[in-house]
A and B are shown apart, each in its own frame.
Chain A
C-alpha cells in the first residue's frame, strides 16, 4: 500500500458523494461546505486506517462519534454512510489490498458499533436534560404558585391602602388571642380608634391627601404601639389588640401612645394635616368575654369618646352600657307599646286658689310595660324626644286626653279643661295646627277646654315657625300655657307678644315657701303681679302642703297643682270628682 499521488481530489469526490447521501436524513446544522469539509477529514481517516497495519478499529469508533457529535444522528444517516462507504470508498480512493474487503468489513462494523453507542449515549443525555428541565420547571411553577397564593392570602387579609391587617385577619387574631388567654385568668384589651372628623381632611385637601394621611397615620400607629397588633377596620377606623394585659393601665398606656403618635404634626403633599382621634378602651379577663363582646364594647366606648368631643380615650363602663342598652330597648319598645295600647293617661287636678274649684286637669302619660310594670313619663319621654318617637306618642296623648275630656262635659256645667304637654318636635311639625283642629272637630271638645303646655325652651329654640303655630292654635281658641316658667330663660318679650294665657310656675319656687319672707316668695309675688299685668293667669306646680297653698293664695296666685290638691288619677276618678265636687 502507498499514498496515491492525487489523494486529495479523490477524497473530495467521495466526501461530496457522502454528503449527498446524508442529505435529508436529519437536520444538519451546518452549511453544505462545512459538512463536506468534515466528511473529507473523516474520509481521510477512513482511508488512512484501511491502509495502516495493524487495522485500528478505534478509529471506526472515533469517526462514528464525530458524526454523532456533528448532529448526524439518524438511523438513515448510519445506513447511508455504511452504504456509500462500502460502495464507493475503495473505488473512489483506489484502495487495493488482498485483505481489503475483510479490513473494510471490520472497520464498518466498528463504525456501526461506535455510531450506535454514541447515539445511545446522546439519546440518554438528552432524555436526562429534558427530564431535569421538566422537574426544574415543575419546581419553579410550584414556587410561583405558592408565592401567588401567599400574595393572594396577604391581599385577602390586609388592607390595600395601608397594608395593615384588615378586619378579617384581626378577627382571626382576636379569636385566637381570646382562646389562648382563656383558662389562665389572663387579661386582654382592645383600643377602638377613629380619627376625628376625618371627612374634613378629604374635603379640604382631596382624597389623595386623605389617603396619604391614612397611610401615615397607620405607620405612626403601628410604630407607637409595637408590638401590639394594629388593624384597619375600614375608613378611618383602626383597632389595636393588647394581649397579656396586666390591667386597665396597660391598655390606657397603649391608647395614650396611639393618641400621642397621631397628634404629631404631619405634612402631606405640603399640607399641614392635623388630626386627632378618639379611642374606646375595653380591658378584661379573657374568661369573662368573647371576641364579639370585646368588639362591641370597644365600639360603644369609642362612641362615648366621640360624643364627649373626641381627641380622648374613654374606658368601657359596664353600668353605663347596661343603662344605655336598657334605654335603647325601652325606646325601641315604644311603637309596639302604642300599638298594643300599653299607654294610658292619669290626670292631676289644677285647682282654683280662690274657691277650691276644679279648673282643669293635666294629662300625664303612663306606660304599663309588660315586663317593667307601670312607668312614669320621666322614664321614657326623654328617650321618645331623642328618637322622635315623641311625635306619635304625643299625638296619641293629645287625642286620648281630648277623647276622655269630652266625657266630663255632661257631668257638670263647668267641666274642667284638659292640659296636655307638647314637645318641641310636635310644635315644629307643620301639620300640628291641622291635627288639633281635626281632633277638636272629631271629639267635639270645645277649644277652650284644651290647654297646650309648652316649655320656654320650645319658644327659645325655634325661629318664626313655632310662634306662627302657637298663634294659629290660639286663634282656634285653644289655651296656651308656658310650663316650668322661671327655670329657663324666662324671656319677658315673648310673654308680651305671644297669645299665652297662663304661666305654670315651677315647683322649685313653691318649695321655697316653707320659710316665711323667703326670697322665693318675693320672686313669686313679683311673677304673679307681672303675669296679671300681662293678663295671664298663674298656676303654681308642686304644691304639697296647706301652708304653701295659703301663701300662694295670699300672693294672689290663681291656681295650684300638686299632691296637696290631688295626685294624678285615672279619668274615672276625675269624672267622679266632677260629679260629686269631692276632692280626689
Chain B
C-alpha cells in the first residue's frame, strides 16, 4: 500500500489473502497470530534464509535489551513505529516492569496488527495504538492520540526496529528520520535495526528479496555505513551500529555468530 497508488480519502482494504510482514514476524517468533498465507510465505523465506526465525528472535531480543537500556537511562516515553503483532515481550511490558508509569505509543500500518494491538492493550494504562505509516512521520507526530500520550517537550525514545528495510530509498528514509528527530527534545533516543546484506552472497540476497516482493512490502537491505548515516544528529551509544546480538549482550556466548542474525542495530542519543 503506497500513498502514490491510493487517494488519501480512500481507506485501506483488508486483504488477508496476502501475507503480512507483521504476521510472518510473529510466526518466526513462535506465535500463532498468523494465517496460512503468512506461514506459507514465512516457510518460503526460511527455505531461502534458514536463519529467518533466528533473525527475528535476535532482533526481538535486541529490542528487549534496548528498551531495558533506555529505561535504565531514565526514558519513560516510547514511540514504537512498526510495532507489528504485539506478541510477548512488548515495549510496555519491558518498560513498565521497572518504570510503571512508562508511556508507549504503538504505530503500525497494518490494520490487522493495529486491531490486534488494540485488543491486547485494552485497559493497559499509558499505552495507545495508532494506525499510521512510517512514511508519514508528520502525521504520526500530529496524531491526537500520539500527542495525548507523549509529551514531546521531554525525552522520547523512537523505536524503528525491523522496519526500515521495508522503506525503499525513494521514500527517503533519512528524511523521515530527520522529521522525527526535529520533533524530539534533547535526551531523546533513536533505536534502529534493519536487515543488512553485509556478508551475504548475491544468490541468497536475490532469493530473500524475491520472497518479500510477494508480500505487501519489498525488502531494502542496507550496509552498516548506510544504517550509521541514519543516526545523523544522534550520538551513537556504545557499541554503535553492530549485528544485533552484539549490542550489549547478556552473556558473551549470546554474541557468537552474530552476523547470522542479518540485522544490524544501534541506539543513538539526541544531545543538547
Q: Complex Cα distance A26/B61, Å? A: 11
Measured CB to CB, the closest approach of chain A to B105, in angstroms, equals 18
Q: How large is the interface on B (under 10, 10 to 19, 20 to 34, 35 or more residues)?
A: 35 or more
Partner of A130, one of B35, B61, B89, B250: B35
Stretch at the interface among B73-81, B112-120, B200-208: B112-120
Contact present for B33 and A130 (CB under 8 Å): yes
CB-CB < 8 A to A28: which residues of B?
A: 61
Task: Decide yes or no whether A140 CB sits under 8 A from chain B.
Answer: yes
Partner of B9, one of A27, A134, A151: A151
Task: Decide yes or no whether B47 CB sits under 8 A from chain A.
Answer: no
Measured CB to CB, the closest approach of chain B to A414, in angstroms, equals 88
Contact present for B250 and A26 (CB under 8 Å): no
Task: Decide yes or no whether B237 CB sits under 8 A from chain A.
Answer: no
Stretch at the interface among B23-31, B144-152, B154-162, B168-176: B23-31
Known contacts A27-B61, A137-B14, A145-B11: does B251 contact A130 (CB below 8 Å)? no
Residues 115-139 of A, flagged 1 when their CB comes within 8 A of B and 0 if not, give 0000000111111011011101110
Task: Decide yes or no whether A477 CB sits under 8 A from chain B.
Answer: no
Q: Complex Cα distance A30/B54, Å? A: 16
Partner of B33, one of A30, A126, A138: A126
Q: Complex Cα distance A129/B33, Å? A: 7
Known contacts A27-B29, A130-B23, A145-B11: does B64 contact A32 (CB below 8 Å)? no
Task: Decide yes or no whether B96 CB sits under 8 A from chain A.
Answer: no
Q: Complex Cα distance A472/B110, Å? A: 88
CB-CB < 8 A to A185: which residues of B?
A: none
CB-CB < 8 A to A122: which residues of B?
A: 32
Which of A122, A136, A151, A152 is most buried by chain B, counting CB atoms within 10 A of its CB?
Answer: A136
Residues 238-267 of B, flagged 1 when their CB comes within 8 A of A and 0 if not, give 000000000000110010000000000000
Measured CB to CB, the closest approach of chain A to B159, in angstroms, equals 16
Chain B, residue nearest A124 (CB): B32
CB-CB < 8 A to A160: which residues of B?
A: none
Q: Which of B21-67 contact A (CB under 8 A)?
A: 23, 29-35, 54, 56-57, 60-61, 64
Measured CB to CB, the closest approach of chain B to A554, in angstroms, equals 92
Q: Complex Cα distance A28/B254, Å? A: 13
Contact present for B250 and A27 (CB under 8 Å): no
Q: How large is the interface on A (under 10, 10 to 19, 20 to 34, 35 or more residues)?
A: 20 to 34
Measured CB to CB, the closest approach of chain A to B91, in angstroms, equals 11
Q: Complex Cα distance A136/B233, Å? A: 40
Known contacts A27-B30, A126-B31: does B250 contact A32 (CB below 8 Å)? yes
Known contacts A32-B250, A134-B16, A136-B119: does B30 contact A26 (CB below 8 Å)? yes
Measured CB to CB, the closest approach of chain A to B258, in angstroms, equals 13
Measured CB to CB, the closest approach of chain B to A186, in angstroms, equals 40
Partner of B10, one of A74, A125, A145: A145
Known contacts A140-B115, A141-B11, A145-B11: does B33 contact A31 (CB below 8 Å)? no
Q: Complex Cα distance A29/B93, Å? A: 10
Task: Decide yes or no whether B72 CB sits under 8 A from chain A.
Answer: no
Task: Decide yes or no whether A73 CB sits under 8 A from chain B.
Answer: yes
CB-CB < 8 A to A127: which residues of B?
A: 32-33
Task: Decide yes or no whether A247 CB sits under 8 A from chain B.
Answer: no
Contact present for B60 and A27 (CB under 8 Å): yes
Q: Complex Cα distance A141/B87, Å? A: 23
CB-CB < 8 A to B23: which residues of A?
A: 130
CB-CB < 8 A to B16: which residues of A?
A: 134
Contact present for B12 and A133 (CB under 8 Å): no
CB-CB < 8 A to B221: which residues of A?
A: none
Q: Complex Cα distance A134/B88, Å? A: 19
CB-CB < 8 A to A125: which residues of B?
A: 32
Chain A, residue nearest B85 (CB): A130
Contact present for B9 and A152 (CB under 8 Å): yes
Q: Complex Cα distance A237/B14, Å? A: 44
Partner of B13, one of A126, A130, A141: A141
Chain B, residue nearest A75 (CB): B30
CB-CB < 8 A to B34: which residues of A?
A: 130
Contact present for B14 and A134 (CB under 8 Å): yes
Known contacts A141-B12, A141-B13, A144-B11: does B30 contact A74 (CB below 8 Å)? yes
Residues 24-43 of A, flagged 1 when their CB comes within 8 A of B and 0 if not, give 10111111110000000000
Chain B, residue nearest A127 (CB): B32
Please name 6 further chain A to chain B contacts, defined as beta carbons within 8 Å, in addition to the given A29-B93, A71-B30, sorted by A numbering: A27-B57, A29-B60, A122-B32, A133-B113, A140-B111, A145-B13
| Interchain Cβ contacts under 8 Å between A and B, 14 examples | A27-B29, A29-B64, A32-B251, A33-B250, A71-B89, A126-B31, A129-B120, A130-B32, A130-B85, A130-B116, A132-B119, A133-B115, A134-B112, A136-B115
Closest 8 CB pairs of A and B: A29-B89, A144-B11, A133-B116, A126-B32, A137-B111, A26-B30, A133-B115, A136-B115
